Structure 1
Amino acid sequence: MYDTSDSHPDIHWPSGFSPADAHSFHRAQAVVPGPPERSFTLLTDVVNWPKWVPGCEEVSSVTLTQTFEVVWAGHRFEVFVGENVPPRRIGWLGIGGGVMLYQAWLLTGTEHGTEIVVENAVRADVPKPLDTLSRDWSERLNELWLAQLGRLSEDPRAEERES
């Protein structure tokens, strides 16, 4: 499917979800203001995802748990946390709408803030509802997550003002 050399060497993939197993794969990275702890806190504050995660409409949990449900783009996904190593890495598997998506995040402190690498490996039997096999879809998803995360990392009070 995809060349595994496209993936960051520090990303940990669960069995069956490496780029080599994916129908769609995309990697994006950015440097956002603030320390990794701030970005990690934002990523794992699932109750507030509907306020800033593109397309997220509802989350069934008020805290990050091993499993929870998310309504995203009108589709219900069951989310399984595969890796949670504060404040360095987080990864989760979302299953729903004919799609299985593993999203891995790697956060590294730099002198200018936090370098964030996010990678998506998508497996889909019925991709039409979400157009998940389109490279534009995964690129846009990653760009939106990173843009919002960067905005919130720059101004921690931005999330409070949106409430």
Structure 2
Amino acid sequence: MSGASDRHPDIHWPSGFSPDQAHSFCQTQAVVHAPPALAFALLTDVPRWPEWVPGLTEVRAGPLARSFEVRFHGHRFEMYTGEHVPYTRLGWSGVGAGVQLYQAWLLTPVADGTHVVTENVVRGPSARSLKTSSPLWARRLN
């Protein structure tokens, strides 16, 4: 698991959700062999997430535009899109299972396709206790 010092300098964070304020933080990077438009389309096709996101079994549209609900490892999360800049940036916040989270995505074109960085900040009493009592669940959140 990465620490707040590993954060990408170009990720935007909403107030209260910087990696320095996190009870749990994780960063992942990869090069996707597809153009940014295709990678972005996949990430924003929320109804199809259960096809490729491990542990995510259900997605439902929310009551507001750009809101949705997911069932992740048996827990319900209400999700709200925070940042949406086509082909370059995404961010959404979620509330559920005793935690609040924000997941940010940064997509940058490279010669082989798209360099993708995703960072997750998780806050709340469950996130604090999960680090020690249930490391597996903490890893799933990240």
TM-score (normalised: structure 1): 0.75
**1:33/1:132 Cα in 2 relative to 1: closer, same or farther (>3 Å)?**
farther
Q: Give the total of aligned pairs.
A: 138
Contact 2:3 2:26 in 1 (8 A): no
More strand by share: 2
Separation in structure 2 between the aligned mates of residue 41 and residue 132 of structure 1, nearest angstrom: 33
- Tell me which amino acid in the other structure corresponds to 2:41: T
- Tell me which amino acid in the other structure corresponds to 1:17: F
Q: Offset at 1:20?
A: 1.0
Separation in structure 2 between the aligned mates of residue 28 and residue 91 of structure 1, nearest angstrom: 15
- The CA RMSD measured in Å over matched residues stands at 2.7
Separation in structure 2 between the aligned mates of residue 69 and residue 111 of structure 1, nearest angstrom: 35
**1:103/1:132 Cα in 2 relative to 1: closer, same or farther (>3 Å)?**
farther
Q: Offset at 1:9?
A: 1.0
1:116-150 deviation per Cα after TM superposition (whole angstroms, max 9, x unaligned): 00001111212499x46748844x666xxxxxxxx
Structure 2 unaligned segments of length 5 or more: list them. Answer: none
Over the matched positions of the two proteins, sequence identity in percent amounts to: 55
1:23-51 deviation per Cα after TM superposition (whole angstroms, max 9, x unaligned): 01111101010101111000000110111
**1:74/1:3 Cα in 2 relative to 1: closer, same or farther (>3 Å)?**
closer
- Tell me which amino acid in the other structure corresponds to 1:60: R
- Tell me which amino acid in the other structure corresponds to 1:23: H
